[in-house]
Structure formats: structure tokens, C-alpha cells
């Protein structure tokens, strides 16, 4: 590990962290990874610790002492703060502070785990305000501004902008989790004729490693990734084509979406589970995910609110997953090879996997 460049990772035990760390720490890579985690004894931390070229560091991103310990001696940093843990306000503060401390500690290349700044993209239309997106997006814009300043030339930076993981389209507890109704897999969501820019978790490692490998070229870059703009009629057709089982998309209103009993129960709880519910700046789940669905409803066909440069992504990662059908096919075969059954079998039995760490930890109900 002595000859490898050390990357300090915040958010390593989250869904995105695993493929990023596996790729960065691989035997044919140039990097070693130092991971910040609150609990080195957790199952997720133990899985990461079993990988080669990985070191766990106990601490939290909400501590300057822990941040300094992690950034010190590190060549690079990948910072993906869990906005559902700390909430929008805290993420903005600690996102900015993590950049400042990384620069002070001598980090050479800083990658911020980002989401689209949808409020700004909409022309500051509050109907699209989505706290867990806008918090990251504000920090991302600030980082790129700092990257242009001469006084910060000792550390360059890039953004890695993702979106809802394609794994979330069939996972438990997510905003778009389907149900089986009368033998038909059904997505009942308020998407209209819009589309979701789904991201394959397995591709994230390739993109992040590309940023570090090409840090001079990537300096100041906002790498916005995705499989495709996935409309849910096509999503249902792809599932049926791969599995042979019936599936459909049922467009519903936002009122119907929030009236669903499992959502209505927690609709007024804070979007960030450690946010202060009495703080006027704290968004509720209903407020946050209303903006979320309005965003995707306005993003159909890569011609609306949220867009991607898929030609650039093909250039960076020619082997990336490029459609929902391709992903369903891969996961269907993967499940069978692992003895879990195909996708339909997993969904019918109620054994569809968790994806989001907060859901797995039992800290949130269905979104």
C-alpha cells in the first residue's frame, strides 16, 4: 500500500460507497482507501474492511477533529455526505467545511458526491424544491467557484452528480418501490409522461476512478451520470420482456401518492432524520418528495429540467449500463446464479433487497 495514493472517503458505508471503494481499492488500482465510519463493527464496515487496501477510521463527518485526521496524509478525497442523516442545513455546512479542511490538510484532488441543484435549474421555482438535492447542489456550485479561484490552486476539485439508483426501482422502502397487485408488478407514482435519470450503482466506481485518474482534465468538472432517462411505461415493458411476468406503470396524482397509508404515516416527519422538526428550515418528507416527483415529471426525454450528456458518458465508460432492460437482464441472471431466484421470485416472496442504508438500518419508513 505504500506506493498507492490514499483516498479519504466519507460515505463509504452507503449504497454508493461500496462500488466506489471496491473499484478504487482493487489490486490493479493506484489507490488505497481510508474510510470514515461511525461504527467499525457494523456489518457494512466489516465488509469494507475485508477488501484489500482499505483502512477504517472511527469518526463522523460532523467533527473537525475527525475530518482533519482523515484528510491528513491523503492525496485525494471522495465526500458523499448522507443528507438523509444530517438534513439539508447540516449537509451544506459540513460539505463546505470538509472542503476547507481538506484544502488546509494538503489534499490534492477533492470529489464531491453531488445531486442536481434542481431549485436553481427550475429558475428557483419552489414547486421543485427538493432538500436532499438542493443541499448537495448548493455545496457543489460553491466548490466549483472555489476551484476557479487562484488562492485554492493547491487543491483541485470535481463534482460527481448522480440520481436515483436503478436498484431503487425494485427495492423496499424507496420513493418508487413497486407492489404486486392482482399478479401484476405495479409502479404507482406521480411521474406523468416524465422520466427518471436512474443510475447503476455498479457503474459509479468506474466514473469516480476516472475522475481521480484524470484529475487534471477533470478539475472543475461536473460529471453528471445516468443510465438513461427512464420513463416508467418503458420500465414496466422492460421488466416484462426480461422476466415474462406482467408489469405496468400507473400514473397517479401527488394527492393519491401521499394518501397511501404507509406514506401518510410519516409524511410530516423531517426529510433528514436528524433534522430538528421545530426548525422552520426543515422540510418534511412530503415537501421534499413532492419536489422530487415534480422534478422528474418535468424531465422527460432528456429535453426537460434534468439532462445528461450520454455521448460523454459513453466515451468515459463504454461498458456502462445503458437501459433499464439491460439492467433487469443482468440482475435477473445474477439473482438466479446466487440462488435467490429471478427478479419476479424475489419480489413475489418479499425478498427484494434493501438499497439505501437508512432503510436497512430501520431508521425510516417507506418513502
The pLDDT of residue 206 is 98
The pLDDT of residue 358 is 54
The pLDDT of residue 84 is 84
What is the pTM assigned to this prediction?
A: 0.95
Per-position pLDDT tens, the chain of length 367: 458 999 999 999 999 999 999 999 998 999 999 999 999 999 999 999 999 999 999 999 999 999 999 999 999 999 999 988 899 999 999 999 999 999 999 999 999 999 999 999 999 999 999 999 999 999 999 999 999 875 556 899 999 999 999 999 999 889 999 999 999 999 999 999 999 999 999 999 999 999 999 999 999 999 999 999 999 999 999 999 999 999 999 999 999 999 999 899 999 999 988 899 999 999 999 999 999 999 999 999 999 999 999 999 999 999 999 999 999 999 999 999 999 999 999 999 988 777 665 555 554 443 3
The pLDDT of residue 356 is 63
Alpha helices (H) along 155-226: 201-213, 215-218
- In the chain, the domains with their CATH numbers are 5-163+201-224 (3.40.50.720), 166-196+228-306+323-360 (3.90.25.10)
Tell me which DSSP letter residue 167 carries: G
Within 10 A of 53 (CB to CB), how many other CB atoms are there? 18
Amino acid at each position: 500500500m505504500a506506493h498507492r495514493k490514499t483516498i479519504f472517503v466519507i460515505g463509504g458505508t452507503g449504497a454508493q460507497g461500496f462500488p466506489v471503494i471496491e473499484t478504487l481499492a482493487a489490486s490493479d488500482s493506484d489507490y488505497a482507501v481510508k474510510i470514515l465510519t461511525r461504527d467499525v463493527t457494523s456489518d457494512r464496515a466489516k465488509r469494507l474492511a475485508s477488501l484489500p487496501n482499505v483502512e477504517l477510521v472511527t469518526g463522523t463527518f460532523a467533527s473537525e477533529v475527525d475530518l482533519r485526521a482523515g484528510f491528513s496524509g491523503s492525496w485525494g478525497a471522495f465526500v458523499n455526505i448522507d443528507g438523509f442523516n444530517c438534513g439539508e442545513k447540516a449537509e451544506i455546512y459540513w460539505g463546505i467545511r470538509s472542503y476547507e479542511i481538506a484544502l488546509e490538510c494538503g489534499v490534492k484532488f477533492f470529489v464531491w458526491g453531488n445531486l442536481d441543484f434542481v431549485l436553481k435549474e427550475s429558475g428557483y421555482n419552489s414547486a421543485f424544491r427538493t432538500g436532499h438535492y438542493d443541499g448537495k447542489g448548493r455545496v457543489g456550485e460553491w466548490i466549483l467557484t472555489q476551484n476557479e479561484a487562484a488562492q485554492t490552486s493547491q487543491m483541485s476539485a470535481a463534482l460527481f452528480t448522480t440520481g436515483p439508483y436503478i436498484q431503487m426501482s425494485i427495492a423496499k422502502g424507496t420513493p418508487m418501490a413497486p407492489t404486486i397487485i392482482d399478479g401484476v408488478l405495479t409502479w404507482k407514482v406521480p411521474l406523468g409522461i416524465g422520466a427518471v435519470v436512474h443510475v447503476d450503482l455498479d457503474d459509479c466506481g468506474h466514473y469516480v476512478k476516472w475522475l481521480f485518474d484524470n484529475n487534471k482534465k477533470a478539475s472543475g468538472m461536473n460529471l453528471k451520470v445516468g443510465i438513461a432517462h427512464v420513463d416508467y411505461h418503458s420500465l414496466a415493458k422492460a421488466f416484462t420482456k426480461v422476466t415474462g411476468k406482467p408489469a405496468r406503470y400507473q400514473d397517479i396524482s401527488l394527492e393519491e401518492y401521499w394518501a397511501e397509508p404507509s406514506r401518510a404515516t410519516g409524511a410530516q416527519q423531517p426529510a433528514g432524520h436528524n433534522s430538528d422538526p421545530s426548525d422552520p428550515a426543515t422540510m418534511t418528507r412530503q415537501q421534499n418528495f413532492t419536489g422530487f416527483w415534480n422534478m422528474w415529471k418535468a424531465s422527460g426525454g432528456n429535453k426537460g429540467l434534468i439532462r445528461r450528456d450520454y455521448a460523454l458518458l459513453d466515451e468515459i465508460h463504454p461498458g456502462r449500463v445503458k437501459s433499464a432492460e439491460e439492467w433487469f437482464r443482468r440482475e435477473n441472471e445474477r439473482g438466479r446464479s446466487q440462488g435467490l431466484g429471478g427478479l419476479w421470485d424475489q419480489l413475489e416472496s418479499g425478498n427484494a433487497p434493501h438499497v439505501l442504508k437508512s432503510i436497512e438500518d430501520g431508521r425510516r419508513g417507506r418513502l
